């Protein structure tokens, strides 16, 4: 099977064809947003990082911004910098340029402030959007899909229908040579032995266990029971009692696919198949991490109804909760509540989900894209602001 | 009887409700085609769990065939199983020195 995507100079395939206005530090967000607000076809990525952080976090911020700038859903990129930040802006530009796309850097301090930088940015963005508009969609095999996996605002229906349906899609996609990336390491706690058993070899299994131990140790270092943080108050209202229960439902979204590799946050998997990426479960950081890893589409399974999308990667919302499908319909793209209601088999629901993935990959808009509900983005950091 | 609760694995000690049940209503918990029935001992909302057996305080709670936590009080068959009577075994920074390992 296939979909229609934008094949880029480096061979990767975009499901969208936008011009990225990427802020390289929190202090440049205002200019990035102002450019994107004026130029149709461009979209801003903003965050709160990039300055006064410890070196490991600055390395992670630079790596993540590089991954975002390289994402094939962006035809070209403008990096908006203040000029004095810790992010290595030139490294981000070099990484993006290596994919063959056009990259420009605007530095607000060098450029004479907001007004002059904005004027320059508007002209650049306008030209880039016009150049991008000449790109055409071409037939691409399913194996060009790089699917990000996410579940959020989960309840007990998540583990009964949307996550297992997504798991079947991932099994089928990876069997065809496609790629899937799974994060949310917090939501491996209590289920890591199952994910480790899905690893391709012992070394990969150990990397999964090490990532989970690192995440759990970070939470335990605070000296509290993490319940209330994970699972969240919403998860608990939805019937999820412990992190173990939440995790056992969450890992179903990878099915029984073999874990081929383990990546750091924002790092692009080297090969195809299922990759596990370090990340917390929270949306602003996790969705960014998946986009930086090169995902060209994200499937987001939800129970209580999470509205968040991402600026330039479509986020397809699927729910197994009938009440959520009806009450939050302006945020939901697909229902698989029929499985829980005994009216549809899991494989049939997975067929509908995969068909919807192909449609969205080919250009059908998600609810989050239409409503512009994708501005709460950030980059995962583990150290202090200093 | 048509099931109103789902059991995921034969070793599970809990079933997940597919609709709200009021105290005294019959739980019809299904694992595949097999359905067991017993009364709900309290009001239990959609998506929440009901005990399939009596569980002693300190015993493991099992769902998906896996341990999801430990009973903090005795739980009777038909009782609501949730944060009021189940604790997590993981992410317990408060219990760091006496942590139980389930791997």
Model confidence pLDDT, tens digit, residues A93-132: 999 999 999 999 999 999 999 999 999 999 999 999 999 9
H-type helices in chain A, by residue range?
29-38, 55-70, 89-98, 114-132, 162-175, 192-197, 202-220, 233-237, 243-250, 283-292, 322-327, 337-340, 346-361, 367-371
User: Is A223 in contact with B93 (Cβ distance < 8 A)?
Assistant: yes
Convert the pLDDT of each residue in A5-23 to its tens digit. 999 999 999 999 999 999 9
pLDDT at B102: 46
H-type helices in A40-199, by residue range?
55-70, 89-98, 114-132, 162-175, 192-197
End-to-end CA distance of chain B: 38
Q: Residue A45 pLDDT more than 90? A: yes
With a CB cutoff of 8 Å and minimum separation 6, the contacts of A153 are A234, A235, A302, A303, A304, A305, A306
State whether residue A91 is helix, strand or coil: helix
Q: CA Rg, chain B, in Å?
A: 14
Secondary structure percentages of chain B, helix, strand, coil, to 5:
5, 40, 55
pLDDT band at A259 (very low <50, low <70, confident <90, very high): very high
pLDDT band at B13 (very low <50, low <70, confident <90, very high): very high
Q: For a pLDDT cut of 70, what percent of chain A falls above it?
A: 100
Topology alike, domains A18-132 and A143-371: yes
Number of Cβ atoms within 10 Å of the Cβ of A16: 23
Convert the pLDDT of each residue in A219-228 to its tens digit. 988 888 988 8
pLDDT band at B97 (very low <50, low <70, confident <90, very high): low
A160 chain-B contacts, CB cut-off 8 A: 6, 8, 16
pTM comes to 0.95
- The CA angle A244-A248-A251, to the nearest 5 degrees, is 130
A contact set with B (CB within 8 A): 155-157, 159-160, 189-194, 216, 219-227, 230, 236, 238-239, 241-245, 248-249, 303, 321, 323, 340-342
Q: For a pLDDT cut of 90, what percent of chain A falls above it?
A: 96
| Alpha-carbon gap: B71 to the closest alpha carbon of chain A (Å) | 11
User: Right CATH number for A143-371 from 3.40.50, 1.10.1240, 1.10.3470, 1.10.10?
Assistant: 3.40.50
Range B5-98 has CATH code 2.30.130.110: yes
CA distance A326 to A329: 5
Convert the pLDDT of each residue in B16-75 to its tens digit. 999 999 999 999 999 888 999 999 999 999 999 999 999 999 999 999 999 999 999 999
Domain assignments of chain A as residue spans, ordered by start? 18-132, 143-371
pLDDT band at B1 (very low <50, low <70, confident <90, very high): confident
The DSSP code for B58 is T
Range A18-132 has CATH code 1.25.40: no
B15 chain-A contacts, CB cut-off 8 A: none
A251 chain-B contacts, CB cut-off 8 A: none
Beta partners for residue A22, in sequence order? A45, A79
Which residue is associated with the tokens 């989960």? A154
Partner-chain residue, chosen from A191, A222, A242, that has the shortest CB–CB distance to B93: A222
Phi-psi region of B7 (alpha: psi -120 to 50; beta: other; left: phi over 0): beta
A245 phi and psi angles, rounded to 5 deg: -65, -45
Half-sphere exposure of B82 (CA within 13 A, CB side): 23
User: Is A242 in contact with B87 (Cβ distance < 8 A)?
Assistant: yes
Q: Please, are residues A67 and A294 in contact by the beta-carbon 8 Å criterion?
A: yes
């Amino acid at each position: 099977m296939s979909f229609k995507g934008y094949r880029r100079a480096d061979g990767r395939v975009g499901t969208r064809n936008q011009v990225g206005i990427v802020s390289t530090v929190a202090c440049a967000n205002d200019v990035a947003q102002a450019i994107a607000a004026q130029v149709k076809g461009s979209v801003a990525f903003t965050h709160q990082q990039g300055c006064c952080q410890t070196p490991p976090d600055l390395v992670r911020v630079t790596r993540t911004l590089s991954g975002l700038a390289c994402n094939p859903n962006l035809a070209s990129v403008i990096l908006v910098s203040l000029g004095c930040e810790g992010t290595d802006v030139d490294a981000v530009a070099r990484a993006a340029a290596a994919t063959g796309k056009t990259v420009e850097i605007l530095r607000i301090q060098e450029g004479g402030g907001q007004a002059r930088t904005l004027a320059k940015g508007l002209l650049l963005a306008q030209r880039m959007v016009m150049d991008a508009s000449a790109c055409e969609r071409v037939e691409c095999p399913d194996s060009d899909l790089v699917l990000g996996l996410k579940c959020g605002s989960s309840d007990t229906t998540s583990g009964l229908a949307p996550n297992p349906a997504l798991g079947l899609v991932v099994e089928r996609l990876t069997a065809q040579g496609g790629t899937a990336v799974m994060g949310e390491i917090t939501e491996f706690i209590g289920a890591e032995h199952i994910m480790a058993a899905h690893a391709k070899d012992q070394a990969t299994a150990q990397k999964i266990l090490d990532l989970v131990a690192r995440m759990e140790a970070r939470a335990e270092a605070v000296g509290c029971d993490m319940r209330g943080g994970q699972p969240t108050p919403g998860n608990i209202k939805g019937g999820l009692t412990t992190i173990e229960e939440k995790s056992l439902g969450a890992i179903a979204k990878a099915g029984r696919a073999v874990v081929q590799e383990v990546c750091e946050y924002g790092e692009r998997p080297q090969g195809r198949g299922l990759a596990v990426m370090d990340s917390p479960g929270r949306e602003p950081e996790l969705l960014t991490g998946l986009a930086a890893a090169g995902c060209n589409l994200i499937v987001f399974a939800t129970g209580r109804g999470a509205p968040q999308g991402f600026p330039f990667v479509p986020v397809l919302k699927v729910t197994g909760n009938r009440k959520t499908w009806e009450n939050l319909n302006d945020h939901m793209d697909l229902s698989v509540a029929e499985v829980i209601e005994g009216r549809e088999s899991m494989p049939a629901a997975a067929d509908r989900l995969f068909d919807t993935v192909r449609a969205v990959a080919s250009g059908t808009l998600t609810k989050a894209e239409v409503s512009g509900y994708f501005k709460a983005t950030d980059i995962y950091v583990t150290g202090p602001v200093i | 009887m048509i099931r109103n609760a789902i059991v995921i694995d034969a070793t599970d000690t809990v079933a997940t409700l597919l609709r709200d049940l009021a105290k005294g209503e019959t739980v019809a918990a299904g694992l595949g085609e097999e359905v067991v029935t017993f009364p709900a001992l309290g009001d239990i909302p959609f998506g929440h769990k009901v005990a399939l057996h009596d569980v002693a305080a300190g015993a493991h709670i099992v769902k998906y065939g896996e341990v999801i936590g430990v009973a903090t009080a005795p739980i009777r068959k038909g009782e609501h199983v949730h944060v009021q009577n189940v604790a997590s075994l993981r992410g317990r920074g408060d219990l760091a020195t006496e942590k139980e390992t389930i791997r």
